[in-house]
Amino acid sequence: MTVKYRFFAGLVLVDIEGTISPISFVRDTLFAYSCEHLASFLAERGHEPAVAAILEETREQSGDADALRALLAWQEQDIKAPPLKKLQGLIWERGYTEGAYKAPLYPDVLGALEAWKAIGLPVHVYSSGSVKAQELFFRYSTVGDIRARFAGFHDTGVGNKQVPASYGRIIEIAGIPASSALFFSDNAGELAAASDAGLQVVQVVKDGTVADARFPQISSFDQIAVDPA
Ligand SMILES: CSCCC(=O)C(=O)COP(=O)(O)O
Ligand SMILES: [Mg+2]
């Protein structure tokens, strides 16, 4: 495949769902698993302090005294509320360790990670999935444990993905100027926020992505060349 865009960057930031892994895995496998196991997980582990704290946070944020009902509603509507995302990470752990699923990467992703590693370019992840969920994802990927390929993991603890200040926080943590970070996502709202924060952005357009002409677009990481900034 021919290179379509060349960037200079000191850091690569990637989204997960729809960018490096199929949306169908997150929705049809992970979300289906947490839907099926949510009630039994809470019955088993709802008394543990970490889980009880998530339930309390759920009641506060939803305004619903019935935390299970609120979590199920968020899940049904794919609302990326932090308490739900934290809980999903805990529930998915069992599915990964019991071998119910492994996390697939798009076929072009591993080559890109190799290329960036070869030039010493750090790669960070920013996903609505909790940091725990991200670490499980990369530990139990279909190509083995690739956690060491990533220099940083960020979730909505730094803020919502569609808000520019969240990208400002990531840049501050990474200790680089915003303009030397290159963010890849399928989601136009996230790209607009990152661009407003001063990052370079590229839209990854796979099956089912709503393409947005405001951003450079690639269908494969093979279409990108990155040189160290
Ligand atoms: C860590 S894999 C699960 C990702 C997830 O829970 C999700 O909601 C997808 O969010 P993303 O920001 O990666 O598009
Ligand atoms: Mg995405």
Predicted TM-score of the model (pTM)? 0.96
Q: How far apart are CA 198 and CA 176, in angstroms?
A: 12
Radius of gyration of the chain (CA): 18
Residue in 16, 28, 162, 185 to alter for ligand 1 test, most ligand atoms within 8 A of Cβ: 16
Length of the chain: 229
Q: Compute the distance between CA of residue 31 and CA of residue 166 in angstroms, rounded to an integer.
A: 25
What's the CA gap between 3 and 225, in Å, rounded?
A: 6
Distances from the Cα of 17 to the Cαs of 11, 132, 216, in angstroms? 20, 15, 19
CA distance 209 to 205: 5
3-state secondary structure of 181: strand
User: Are 38 and 89 within 8 A, CB to CB?
Assistant: no
Q: Which residues contact 148 (CB under 8 A, 6 or more apart)?
A: none
Closest ligand to residue 88's CA = 1
Question: Residue 207: its pLDDT value, please?
Answer: 84
Could you identify the atom of ligand 1 that is nearest to the CA of residue 187?
14
Ligand 1 environment, Cβ below 6 A: 15-18, 26, 30, 80, 85, 88, 127-129, 133-134, 137, 161
Tens digit of each residue's pLDDT (9 = 90 or more) over 135-184: 999 999 999 999 999 999 999 999 999 999 999 999 999 999 999 999 99
In the reported structure, the alpha carbon of residue 17 is separated from the centroid of ligand 1 by a whole-number distance in angstroms of 5
- Joined tokens for residue 8: 């200079």
Domain boundaries, the chain: 5-21+103-228, 26-97
Tell me the pLDDT tens digit for each residue of 5-20: 999 999 999 999 999 9
For the stretch 103-117, pLDDT in tens is: 999 999 999 999 999
154 C-alpha to ligand 2 centroid (Å):
14
Give the CA distances from residue 29 to residues 94, 102, 103, 114, 176, in Å, rounded to whole numbers and listed in that order: 13, 10, 9, 27, 36
> Which residue is associated with the tokens 């269908």?
219
**ipTM reported for the complex, 2 dp:** 0.97
- Class assignment of domain 26-97? mainly alpha
Closest ligand 1 atom to residue 85 Cα is: 6
Q: What is the pLDDT of residues 194-228, one digit of tens each?
A: 999 999 999 999 988 999 999 999 999 999 999 99
pLDDT, tens digit, for every residue of 37-82? 999 999 999 999 999 999 999 999 999 999 999 999 999 999 999 9
| C-alpha 22: how far from chain center | 12
Please report the DSSP string for 109-135 in residue order.
HHHHHHHHHHTT--EEEE-SS-HHHHH
Ligand 1 centroid from CA 206, angstroms: 16
* pLDDT at 1 (0 to 100): 73
Which CATH superfamily, name and number, covers 5-21+103-228? HAD superfamily/HAD-like (3.40.50.1000)
- The closest ligand to the CA of 27 turns out to be 1
Alpha carbons 154 and 130: distance in angstroms, whole number: 8
Task: Kindly give, in sequence order, each residue whose CB lies less than 8 Å from that of residue 69, ignoring residues fewer than 6 positions away.
Answer: none
- Mean pLDDT for the stretch of residues 11-39: 97
Contact 51, 83 (CB under 8 A): no
Q: Where are any strands of DSSP class E within the chain?
A: 5-9, 11-14, 123-126, 152-154, 181-185, 200-204, 217-218, 224-228
Query: 102, 96 in Cβ contact below 8 A?
Result: yes
pLDDT at 94 over 90: yes
